[in-house]
Structure formats: C-alpha cells, structure tokens
Amino acid sequence: MSIWIDTNTRLVVQGITGKEGLFHTRQCVEYGTRVVAGVTPGKGGQQVDGIPVFNTVREAVAESGANTSMIFVPPAFAADAVLEAVDGTIGLIVCITEGIPAQDMLRVKTALQMSSCRLIGPNCPGIISPGKSKVGIMPGPIHRPGPIGVISRSGTLTYEVVHQLTAQGLGQSTCIGIGGDPVVGTSFIDCLQAFAGDNETTGLVMVGEIGGSAEEEAAAFIRDNLQIPVVGFIAGLTAPPGRRMGHAGAIVSGSSGTAASKIEIMRECGLHVCEQLGKLGLFCREVF
C-alpha cells in the first residue's frame, strides 16, 4: 500500500510556468503522476504540455478536481502560495521551495492547524509512492515498489538511502522528505502515525540529522506504538557544536541535538541504528 498519495492523486502545480516548475512537472508526468492543472497568476487560459493553467488554485480545483498541490514559487511568495492552496481546499500540499523565512512559516503553521490540509515541507524533495505517483523532485528510476517506508529530513540522503535499498532488493512503499527547516508542516511522528496504519509497510528507515529534538521524540513514539523494525541513521556525527550544517534546523547548541545523543536515545528505544551511511543498505538487508 502507500500513504497520502497513490494512483488517485490529482496534482496541481503552483509555479508550473517557471523553469524549475516546468522541468519537474514533466518528470512527474513521465513517472505517471496525474498532473491535471497548473497555477501561475496572470497566465490563466494558457496550456503547458496540454495541462491547463489557471490564475488561482480555487479555479484549478473547481475545473480539474485537483486534490494535491506541488509548489515551485520563489521564497518571498511561497508562504502565500501555501495559504492559497489551503484556502483552495487542497488536501495535500508539497512545498519544494527553500529559503522561506521562519516567520512566514509560522503564519502557515497557524493556518494549517485550523484546516484539514497537510503540508509536506518546505525545503524538501517531496513524496513518492513507487509505481503509483511522484509529487516532488526525487529521481524516479531509483525507486522500486515494496514494503519499506522511508522518512528523512535530508533530500540528498533520501536518494542515497533509497538507492541502497533498491540495490539490496528492498522496495519502498512510500518515501517522504519532510524538510530540514526549523518550521515544517509534517513531522517524523506524523509520518510514523500514517505508516502505523499501513499493514503493507513491514519496515521503516528514519534518516535524521543534528539539531532539534524531533528524532528523539520520534524514537519514543516508535518504542510505544510501532511493532515493525525501524532502522535509524543520523547525519552530522562529526559536526562541530554551534555551526549550522546544511539545513537551517541542523545546528547543535551545547549538548542538545548532537548526533551522539540522538543515536543513544534511538538505541534505547529499540531502533536499529546504522552509523555508516555507505553500509546502510546492507545493514537494512540484515534487519528486514
């Protein structure tokens, strides 16, 4: 099975006429995703590769029945694009844009709490259910359908983990990049709750990184609620304290949020922790 997207996903792309939006729209279509509409203010009435473009999300939903949005809008306008998708009653919003100010995301977070919409991202690679649908920028060919779920704060590490899983014959049910910003729409625990309800996902890989306490909280949830094996990996084991590494949320302050402390808690909660990224595929083969 899969979570959140499948063959019934009907995608609208906000920012479809931009360079990045157009490129990745075509990649999603090639993978088999049903892209039913695009949105670019002022360009309503046009078409992109036969996909109708609308001025607003509301118009796109009314005309195409879109239920999912993928956002390629510049950082200064991306939060408003998410809010427009919320107002347009989109069920799942995937925001690829990086560099959105945290203050803008706090406004978005408040709006999401008062709605039934789910946001994945921002600053994320998106979500893919192999063989069914892709909503994001991940390379489709490295994925294979199967029973292993993947959740990651890092886009690049998501690809590396998936490549190794596939090489070991371990297909994936759904792979989600939640993003590494301080304020994101979907947490590790949100994903874990969804996977817990999918009886065809028989194992999970959780890829975290330094900074914050999300991985520790997720480990406690896994200990108390999941009955399937979970492999954990934490990036940034050698990162110096006080220096941001890659993502805005990947910063260690004092003894809080270090890779060592996360790994210790994950092991205490029963996760199978792999400390060497290059051997993660083989490690997973032994666990699953």
CATH code for residues 10-120: 3.40.50.720
Would the pLDDT of 189 be above 50? yes
Annotated catalytic residue: which of 24, 143, 163, 247? 247
Given a contact cutoff of 8 angstroms between Cβ atoms, the answer to whether 203 and 229 are in contact is yes
**Nearest of 178, 242, 183 to residue 210 by alpha carbon:** 242
Cα 87 to chain centroid, rounded = 21
Report pLDDT for 15: 98
| 65 vs 11: CA distance, rounded Å | 9
- Domain(s) labelled CATH 3.40.50.720 in the chain stretch across 10-120
| 38 vs 17: CA distance, rounded Å | 8
Given a contact cutoff of 8 angstroms between Cβ atoms, the answer to whether 249 and 178 are in contact is no
- Domain(s) labelled CATH 3.40.50.261 in the chain stretch across 138-287
Beta carbons within 10 angstroms of residue 95's beta carbon: 30
Strands 172-177 and 145-152: parallel
Q: Does the bond joining 182 to the residue before it have cis omega, within 30 degrees of 0? A: no
pLDDT in tens, 199-208: 999 999 999 9
Find residue 38's DSSP bridge partners: 13, 53
Angle between helix 57-64 and helix 75-87 axes, rounded to 10 deg: 40
Burial of residue 222, with CB atoms counted within 10 A of its CB: 0-12 exposed, 13-18 middle, 19 or more buried:
buried
The residue type at 236: G
| 90 vs 68: CA distance, rounded Å | 6
Would the pLDDT of 238 be above 70? no
Grouping H, G, I as helix, E, B as strand and the rest as coil, residue 205 is: strand
Cα 82-86-90 angle, rounded to 5 deg? 105
Would the pLDDT of 245 be above 60? no
Would the pLDDT of 254 be above 60? no
Instruction: Output DSSP code: residue 3.
Output: S
Residue 247 bears catalytic tag: yes
Percentage of the chain lying above the pLDDT 70 cut: 93
pLDDT in tens, 93-143: 999 999 999 999 999 999 999 999 999 999 999 999 999 999 999 999 999
Cα 192 to chain centroid, rounded = 13
Find residue 172's DSSP bridge partners: 148
Q: 3-state SS of the chain: helix, strand, coil percent to 5?
A: 35, 25, 40
pLDDT in tens, 207-226: 999 888 899 999 999 999 99
| 174 vs 6: CA distance, rounded Å | 9
Would the pLDDT of 256 be above 60? no
Taking all residues of the chain, what is their mean pLDDT, rounded to a whole number? 93
Report pLDDT for 246: 53
CATH (one of 2.60.40.420, 1.10.510.10, 3.40.50.261, 3.30.460.80) for 138-287: 3.40.50.261
pLDDT in tens, 15-72: 999 999 999 999 999 999 999 999 999 999 999 999 999 999 999 999 999 999 999 9
Strands of 272-273's sheet in order across: 133-136, 126-129, 172-177, 145-152, 203-209, 230-235, 272-273
Report pLDDT for 250: 46
